[in-house]
Structure 1
Amino acid sequence: MGGGHLALGGRVSDDPLAERLAAVEAKLAAPPPRPIADRVLRLLPWLSLGHLLVGVPTLVISLVVAWGTFVQAEATQKIQQASAWPFLGYTTGNYNERGERELYFELANNGVGPALLRAVELSYRGKPVPAPAELLARCCGRAPDAPVRFGTAPIRNIALRPGDAVRFLSVPDLPINRGLVEALDRERWKVRVRACYCSVFEDCWTIDGGESEPVPVRQCPADWTRYRER
């Protein structure tokens, strides 16, 4: 008889109806599809890895930029400080600029910025000397009521511009000072001078004598015997 062929003994029929029934049965026998949430969960590790691959270079770049900004700011600050750096020096001499004999003690700013002179201490043979008259009495035998002529200048809380100097004690070779000048010329090397000064940025240093290098300090010492001009 005409019609399709049924599947007998493993053979597939040519009947379209039978083929459709077989396809439906196959779909019913297949496992159900996974929910969308399962698919998303399976993709999460890969999405996280993608964000990590993008985020790590961005973080590295941000850190590099931040470090570069910090270094640049620090360099700018150092340049500003260097452009206003004072350098105080102490010296003593026995002749002035005019070639006249004169014993003097002097502080000079040899730096490129103003020096704010905060404290100065003089000592003779290891003992602090608070004033010039006492120094001349100790070193050179000057009697308290003996006539003498010497010059002084303020050295506390003053500003020295670059190239400026302050001659805080000078004793000219005058008839009234005979004997005093010779004695001071011998003894001036036993006078110790310490000074503390700061920059306009409040960076401070101390010096101790004429050959010493400035030593950075957080603030000027408070235990010095401050020298005064009178």
Structure 2
Amino acid sequence: MTVHDRNQYILSLGAVAMSAIALLFAFLELRSSDRQLDTSVWPYVDTSFSLNANSASLTLANKGLGPALIHEFRVLHNGVEIRHPLELPQFADGRGGNYSVTTASAPGSVLAVGEELTSFEIRGENVGLGMEAALRDIQIELCYCSINGACWSNHSQANFREPVAACADQDVDIGDALDIFRETNSDVSPQAEDTP
């Protein structure tokens, strides 16, 4: 091999190495851009109870940076799913009552940034006062996704919001839940207003 051939060979290797380094930097830049895009549309759904003397409500609010697609939403009392919000006052005071409720189905909803959804509001005499003690035994299970397909769940006790591969779809029919509630609690006289 002549000196000229050797120099050409070294220059060729250098060019290949520089191309590989440029390709690596381009890949890292692309990954960084993808992460920036993902973080710019991250939703963060928070839940809050509101209690007044004669009313109790549960609200979901998107406090993140992008829309939240709600896939799963469950209210549990000591680990047992509550089929209809009108069950809650019974846990609070151990008796039935003449309560009315307004509900909105959370699964399948999309919350825009800053938007709130009142999942249910129960109205009745002293219902809010009675519910205050019951809240210690209430758990909320929630799973939602961003428009990019990243999903989060609070089903784990470790964190409020933990990344998950995907959310399960929850098929909810509030009317069916209300019928079941009426059949199993004939001593309660709910006056329910179901909203889609």
| TM-score (norm: length of structure 2) | 0.77
Counterpart mapping for 1:19-98 below 5 A = 44=1, 46=3, 48-95=5-52
Unaligned regions of 5+ residues in structure 1, if any?
1-43
CA, structure 1 residues 208+140, in 2 after alignment: closer, same or farther (shift >3 Å)? farther
How much does 1:142 deviate? 4.5
CA contact (8 A) 1:84 1:112 kept: yes
Question: Which of 94, 109, 117 does residue 141 from structure 1 map onto?
Answer: 94
Letter in 2 for 1:52: Y
In structure 2, what is the equivalent of residue 128 of structure 1? 81
Equivalent residue number for residue 154 of structure 2: 207
Letter in structure 2 aligned against 1:133: L
Q: Letter of the 2:83 partner, please give it.
A: P
Higher deviation after alignment, 129-138 or 154-163:
129-138
- How many Å apart are 1:200 and its aligned residue? 0.3
- Report the AA paired with residue 23 of structure 2: A
1:195 correspondence with 2:142: yes
Match of 2:108 in 1: 157
Residue equivalent to 1:110? 63
Deviations 1:116-136 (A, max 9, x none): 011012110121222213333
Q: Which moved more, 1:129-138 or 1:115-124?
A: 129-138
What's the counterpart of residue 128 of structure 2?
181
- Cα 1:185–1:227 change in 2 (3 A) is farther
Question: For each residue in 1:159-182, what CA deviation from the matched residue of structure 2 results, as whole angstroms up to 9, or x when unmatched?
Answer: 00011111112223xxxx224332
Distance 1:101 1:149 in 2: 11
CA contact (8 A) 1:150 1:169 kept: yes
Q: Gaps spanning 5+ residues in structure 2: where?
A: 179-196
Distance 2:127 2:172 in 1: 24
Aligned positions, number? 175
Q: Distance in 2 between matches of 1:201 and 1:183?
A: 42
Over the residues paired in the alignment, what is the CA RMSD in angstroms?
2.7
Q: Are 2:50 and 2:58, in contact at CA under 8 Å, matched by a contact in 1?
A: yes
Deviations 1:59-89 (A, max 9, x none): 1110111011111211211121121110111
- Once the two structures are TM-superposed, the CA of residue 46 in structure 1 deviates from its matched residue by 4.3
**Larger proportion of strand:** 2
How far apart, CA to CA, are the structure 1 residues paired with 2:18 and 2:105? 56
Q: 1:79 to 1:142 in 2, by over 3 A?
A: same
Aligned residues of 1:122 and 1:227 also touching (Cα < 8 A): no
The SS at the match of 1:121 is strand
**SS of equivalent to 1:134:** helix
Identical-residue share of aligned pairs (%): 18
